[in-house]
Amino acid sequence: MIKSNSGIRKTDVINRRMFIIGAAKFVVFAGIIARLFSLQINENKKYLTLSDKNRIREWKLPPTRGDIVDYFGNIIAGNLKVYQLHIIPEQVENFNYLLLRLKSILDLSEKKITKINKLKSELKPWDSIIVSENLTWGQFVKINNYLYDLVGVKPVMTISRNYPFKDVYTHVLGYVSQPNEEEILANETIQQRFVPGMKIGKLGLEKRLENHLIGTNAIQRYEVNAFGKRINQLEYQKGKQGTKIRLTVDTEIQKSCGNLLKGKAGSISVMDIFTGDIIAMYSSPSYDPNLFLFGISQDEWQLIRNNPLKPLINKTLSGLYSPGSTIKPIVALSALENNVIDTKFKVKCTGKMELYGQTFHCWKEKGHGWVSLKNAMKQSCDTYFYEIARLLGVDRLNITAEKFGLGKKVLGEYFENEKKGLFPNTKWKKNNLGRGWVLGETLITGIGQGYIQSTPLQLCMMTAQIANGGYAIKPKIIVDNKPINLQEAKKSMQREQLHYSDKKLFKNKKNIKIVQEAIFSSTNERFGTSYKSRIDDPKYQFAGKTGTAQVKRISKRERELDLELEQIPYKDRDHALYVAYGPYINPRYALSIIVEHGGSGSKAAAPIAKKLFKLIIDRHDLRNDQSNFEEINI
Amino acid sequence: MFQNDRLNNEITFFQKIKNLDYILLISVALLSAISVFVMYSTDGGEILFHTKNHFVKLMVFFPLMIFVAFFNIKFWHNFSYIIYFLVIILLIWVSFFGIKSSGSQRWMDVYLFVLQPSELMKVAIILCLAKYYHRLKIENVNSFTSIIIVLSIIIIPIIFVISQPDLGTSILIALSGLIILWLGGVKIKYFIYSFITFLISLPFIISFLKPYQKLRILTFLDPDRDPLGAGYQIIQSKIAIGSGGLDGKGFLKGTQSYLDFLPEKHTDFIFTLFSEEFGFIGSVGLLILYTIIIFRIVRIGSISRSNFARLFCFGYAFAIFIYIVVNLSMVLGLLPIVGSPLPIMSYGGSSMLATMIGFGIVLSAKINHKQIIA
C-alpha cells in the first residue's frame, strides 16, 4: 500500500517535472527557429553574396594593346598570334618523362628544365606552367605531332606585340616588355589591369601612351571549389582592344632614312613646315624592338649595349650637338631684324680674325675676301659671322634663336628622354658658370660652336620655321582629328598670326626672304657649300645649309697638318650637319641630318638630303590625298 | 523469475506488432530516408562511400530497433545495470586499446564498423538511472547517500570520456544523466545551487581546457578573429545556411557543400548542408519531424504504468532534444563548436546504433505499457 502510494507520488513528481521540461523545449525550439529565420530570411542577401564570393572567382586575361599605325594606316606596332606551350601538372602522368621528351623536341636547356621544376613546386597543380612563350611554327607543328605522347601538354595560341618594321621605328615607338614591380605600382591603370604575362610599354610612345594603348582585360568567371580549383566557366566577358593611334610618320621615308644612315651614327628628322607633322624621325643605329618581347638574351643585349655607335640613345631627341654653321641663318636673321646689317653690309675675310690677342679662324685658310650676307651664307664664311655676331651681341642673338625653338623641347610631352639643349646668353653664363661673358664666346656662338647645344629635331624645327615664312609651329607626331592640306595650312597659319602675336617670329617679312634666298644660294649657286648636292629640277629643288661641328678644339699643329678625314681617329672627327627645306617654290618640308663624326657637312650630310628629298617630294601628293581618319581622342 | 520475465505470455507476437507505435516508427523511417538523400548530396550527387555505408547501417540498425522493441520492458529494466557496467568496461578497454584518430582515442574496431562506446553510454546512463530512481523510495531521493550514488553513476563514465578527450559527448552524457535526476525528484534548489556554483567556477574550468578548446570558445565569441583558421567552420556554416534562403538552393545544388567549403559536412555539419539545399522551409520541416518524434516518446512515457519506462522515455526524449539543440546551436553559431552529431542524420555508426537502441526500448515500453515492474 505504502509502496503503491509512493509509486503514485513518484509518478506525479515525474509528470510535473516533465511538464516544466516540455515547456522549456518549446521555448528553445522557438529560439532555434528564430535564429534560422534571421539567418535565412532576414540576412539571406548578405549570405548569398558571401556564398557567391566564395565560389565565383574572376580571372583577368591580358588586354590586347591598341595598334599604332603610320599616316597611311600601315600597322607599325601591331599584335601577332604567337604559339605557346603550357603544361598542366595535374594532368601529367609522368612529369620527368614529359620533360625529357620536351627537352629533345624543343631543345630546352638544363637551366630551363630546372626552372620548370621550380615553377611546378610553387604553383598549384591545376595552374599551367608556361614552357615556351613563343614557339616557332615548326616547333608548334612538331609538338602537335607528338601530342599523343605528351599527356598534360597544352599548345596555346595567344596574342603578342609585334613590330613588323623591326628597327625602323624603335626610337619613336620604344617597345613593350614584362614590367617590374615598380613600374606596375607607378601606373594605376596598369595596376588594375595587370595579369602575369602581360607586357607594358617600356620606352618611347609605347610608354607615354600606355593608358590609351593598354586596352581592357577580358574576364573569365569561374566557379571554384574551396581549394581554388576551377570547376566550370560561368561567363566570358570580352575585353576591348586599346585605342588605335595614328602617327604622322611616313614609313617609306622613315625606312629610307634608315638605309641612308646605315653603318653610321646619326639622325634624320623630316617635318611638315606648316602643320608641324613629323614625317620621319630616325636615329641610327637602331635595334630590333622585337627582341625585347620575350626577354632579350644576354648576348644580344650586350651586343646592343656595347655597340660604339650607341644604338640605345635616341639621337634625334637626346643627342646634343653644336649646330655649327647650320646656325648661321638664325645669326643672319637676328642681325637683319636688329638692323645691325643690311644686304649691302660687307666684311673682308682674310682667313682669320684677331680679337684681344686671340685668333679666330675661318674654315678657308686663304679667306673669302670681301663678302656680303648672301656670299657669306653661300660659302659659309666664318669671319663674316664672327663680325656680325660681334656687332649683334649674344643676348640679341639668343632672343631670336629661342624664338625659333632652340634651347626648348620640341616634343616634350611625348618623349621623356627629349633634351632641352642650350642657347647661351650672358645671364646664363653668370648664373651657371659664375663668370662673365667673354666677347670671344660671342664670336664662336655666331658660328654655332661653344656652349650652344641643340638636338637634331630642334634644328629641323628651326629650319621649318624659316621655310614657312617665319611662323611658329607646334611639331607633333600623333595625327589629330583635322588634317589639312597645304592651302588650308598656309591660310590658317596666316590667320593665326593675326590673332596671336607670338605666332609671328619676325619683325619684317623681308628679312626672312633675304635669309631664305641666302640659304638657297648655298645649295644652288656655284661655290655654295652644298652645290654638289643640288637638284636642278624645280619640282625637287631644295635650299639647305651645311654645318660642321667640331668635336674637339683644333690645335695649331693639327691645323697645319690639314689631315684627311681617314687620318683622324673616329672619335675626333667632326660631326657633319645639314639642314634644308624644299621644294624651294612653295616649300612644304624641312629636314635636318646629322652624321656623327662624318667629317664635313657638305661631304657627309648634304648628299643624304639630295637622295631623301626626291622621295619626300614624290610622296607629297599621296600624303596630301590621304583621308579617312578615324576619330581619335588623345 | 528471470525466465518468467523474459517469456512474457500475456502478449503474443502479433499483439506486439499491433502495439508498436507506428507514428514513431514512420517518423524514424522518414528521417532515415531523408538522411540517405542528404548523404547522397554530400557525396556530390553520387552513390559513394558515405551514402553506401550510411544506407547499409540503416538497413542493419532499423530492424535492430524493432528487434529491441520485442524484448519486454522488464528485460531492459533487469539488465539496466549490467548494460551500464558493460559499457563502462568498453570505455575502459577503449582508453587502453582504442583506435587513435586525430588526437583522440575513443573507438574500437568491431569488424562491421568502428564502435564508439561513449555514444552507447548516452543511452546506458539513462537506463541505469531510470532503474535506480524506479527502485528508490521517494523519501530517499534527496538523501545524501542516493545523491552521492547517482552523481557517481554520472561522473564515472564522464571521467573516461573526457580523458579520450571528448568534451561534446561528455556534456551530452552529463545532461542525459542530470535530466533523470531532475525527473526523479531531486530538489530544485540543488539544481539552482549547483548551477550557480558552475557559473562561478566557469573561469576556473576554462583555465583547465585544452588550448584548442579555448580557441573554440574564443572563436565562438568572435568568429571573424581568424576567418581562415579557427573561425572558418562556423563562418562557412553560417554562409551556407544563410544563403539557403526561404526554399533553399535545391537538392544537390548547395554550392557551399558541393565546392567543399563546408567542413565536416557528413557528420556534425550535416544540418548545414540540408539547410542550404532545402532552406528555411525544409529546416523547419525537419525540426517538426524531430518534434513529432520527441512528443511521441513523451506520450509513450506518459501512458507507461511503470516509472522505469516513464523515466526512460522522458529522459530519452529530453536526450534527443538536447542532441538536436546542441548540434543546431553549434552550426547556427549559437554555441561554441563541440563535436555532437545530429541523431540519425549524421554519418556515424555508433551514434545511429545508440539512437536506434534507444528508440527500440521506447517502442518496447509502448508495447508493454501496461507492464508493472515490481
Least confident of A113-122, A399-408, B241-250: A113-122
Q: State the angle between helix axes of A509-524 and A328-337 in degrees (0 to 180), rounded to the nearest 10.
A: 150
The per-residue pLDDT for A7 is 65
The per-residue pLDDT for B5 is 47
CB-based contact A225 B260, cutoff 8 Å: yes
- Residue position matching grid coordinates 533487469: B78
Write the secondary structure of A323-363 as one string of H (helix), E (strand) and C (coil). Answer: CHHHHHHHHHHHHHHCCCCCCCCEEEECCEEEECCEEEECC
Say what the alpha-carbon torsion angle B369, B372, B373, B374 is, to the nearest 10 degrees. 170
Instruction: Identify which of B230, B236, B223 has the alpha carbon closest to the alpha carbon of residue A226.
Output: B236
Average pLDDT over residues A81-103: 84
For residue B165, whether the previous peptide bond is cis, meaning omega lies within 30 degrees of 0, is yes
A interface mutation test: which of B134, B138, B175, B233 has the most A CBs within 10 A?
B138
Do A462 and A579 meet the contact criterion of CB atoms below 8 Å apart?
yes
**Cα gap A396→A423, rounded to integer Å:** 12
Could you tell me if A36 lies within 8 Å of chain B, comparing CB atoms?
yes
The three grid cell numbers given for residue B346, joined into one nine-digit string: 549524421
CB atoms within 10 A of CB B109: 11
DSSP state of A82: E
The per-residue pLDDT for A633 is 58
**Cα gap A88→A124, rounded to integer Å:** 10
Domain assignment of residue B196, yes or no: yes
CB-based contact B332 A36, cutoff 8 Å: yes
Do B98 and B106 meet the contact criterion of CB atoms below 8 Å apart?
yes
B interface mutation test: which of A40, A41, A232 has the most B CBs within 10 A?
A40
Domain assignment of residue B244, yes or no: yes
The per-residue pLDDT for B1 is 39
Average pLDDT over residues A349-358: 88
Average pLDDT over residues A326-348: 93
Any alpha helices (H) in chain B, and if so which ranges?
2-6, 13-19, 22-42, 49-69, 73-97, 117-135, 144-162, 167-184, 188-208, 211-221, 232-244, 255-258, 270-303, 307-331, 349-367
pLDDT band at A627 (very low <50, low <70, confident <90, very high): low
* Chain B residue numbers touching A39 (CB-CB < 8 A): 238, 241-242, 332
Instruction: Identify which of A556, A502, A477 has the alpha carbon closest to the alpha carbon of residue A206.
Output: A477
- As a whole number, the mean pLDDT across chain B is 89
Do A608 and A542 meet the contact criterion of CB atoms below 8 Å apart?
no
Range of the domain at B316: 2-367
Q: Please work out, in degrees rounded to the nearest 5, the angle formed at the alpha carbon of residue A47 by the alpha carbons of A46 and A50.
A: 95
Residue A124 has pLDDT above 80, yes or no: no
Between these two residues, A405 and B10, which has the higher pLDDT value? A405
**Cα gap B2→B312, rounded to integer Å:** 21
The three grid cell numbers given for residue B92, joined into one nine-digit string: 575502459
Query: Facing residues of A153 across strands?
Result: A87
CB-based contact B332 A13, cutoff 8 Å: no
CA A59 to mean position of chain CA atoms:
32
Per residue in A441-494, pLDDT tens?
A: 999 999 999 999 999 999 999 999 999 888 888 898 988 766 566 677 777 777
Residue numbers of B between 113 and 152 with CB closer than 8 Å to A: 133, 137-139
**Cα gap A362→B10, rounded to integer Å:** 145
**Cα gap A257→A383, rounded to integer Å:** 34
The per-residue pLDDT for A281 is 94
The per-residue pLDDT for A6 is 65
φ, ψ for residue A430, nearest 5 deg: -60, -45
A interface mutation test: which of B239, B312, B327 has the most A CBs within 10 A?
B239
**Cα gap B313→B317, rounded to integer Å:** 6
Burial (0-12, 13-18, 19+ Cβ within 10 Å), B321: buried
**Cα gap A249→A257, rounded to integer Å:** 12
The three grid cell numbers given for residue A63, joined into one nine-digit string: 588586354
Could you tell me if A223 lies within 8 Å of chain B, comparing CB atoms?
yes
Catalogue all structural domains in chain A, each as residue range(s) with its CATH number.
Answer: 59-246 (3.90.1310.10), 251-287+317-625 (3.40.710.10)
Between these two residues, A267 and B1, which has the higher pLDDT value? A267
Residue A578 has pLDDT above 70, yes or no: yes
Instruction: Identify which of A237, A153, A265, A247 has the alpha carbon closest to the alpha carbon of residue A209.
Output: A247
Rg of the Cα trace of chain A?
37
First vs last C-alpha separation in chain A? 108
Domain assignment of residue B372, yes or no: no
How many domains in chain B? Answer: 1
A37 to chain B, minimum CA–CA distance in Å?
7
Domain assignment of residue B374, yes or no: no
The three grid cell numbers given for residue B76, joined into one nine-digit string: 531492459
Residue B25 has pLDDT above 90, yes or no: yes
The per-residue pLDDT for A577 is 95
Do A270 and A280 meet the contact criterion of CB atoms below 8 Å apart?
yes
Q: Please work out, in degrees rounded to the nearest 5, the angle formed at the alpha carbon of residue B372 by the alpha carbons of B367 and B373.
A: 110
Per residue in A242-269, pLDDT tens?
A: 998 999 999 999 999 999 999 999 999 9
Domain assignment of residue B294, yes or no: yes
The three grid cell numbers given for residue B200, joined into one nine-digit string: 562561478
CB-based contact A36 B275, cutoff 8 Å: yes
Domain assignment of residue B144, yes or no: yes
**Cα gap A237→A382, rounded to integer Å:** 69
Domain assignment of residue B76, yes or no: yes
The per-residue pLDDT for A444 is 92
Q: Please work out, in degrees rounded to the nearest 5, the angle formed at the alpha carbon of residue A404 by the alpha carbons of A400 and A406.
A: 95
Average pLDDT over residues B161-166: 87
Q: Which helix (H) or strand (E) holds A1?
A: none
Could you tell me if A57 lies within 8 Å of chain B, comparing CB atoms?
no
**Cα gap A627→A73, rounded to integer Å:** 10
* Chain B residue numbers touching A227 (CB-CB < 8 A): 260
- Residue position matching grid coordinates 566564395: A54
Helix (H, G, I), strand (E, B) or coil at A14: helix
CB atoms within 10 A of CB A296: 19
DSSP state of A165: T
* Most confident option among A190-194, A230-234, A310-314, B214-218: A310-314
Domain assignment of residue B27, yes or no: yes
Instruction: Identify which of B54, B72, B58, B55 has the alpha carbon closest to the alpha carbon of residue B15.
Output: B72
CB-based contact B307 A13, cutoff 8 Å: no
A31 to chain B, minimum CA–CA distance in Å?
10
The per-residue pLDDT for A621 is 85
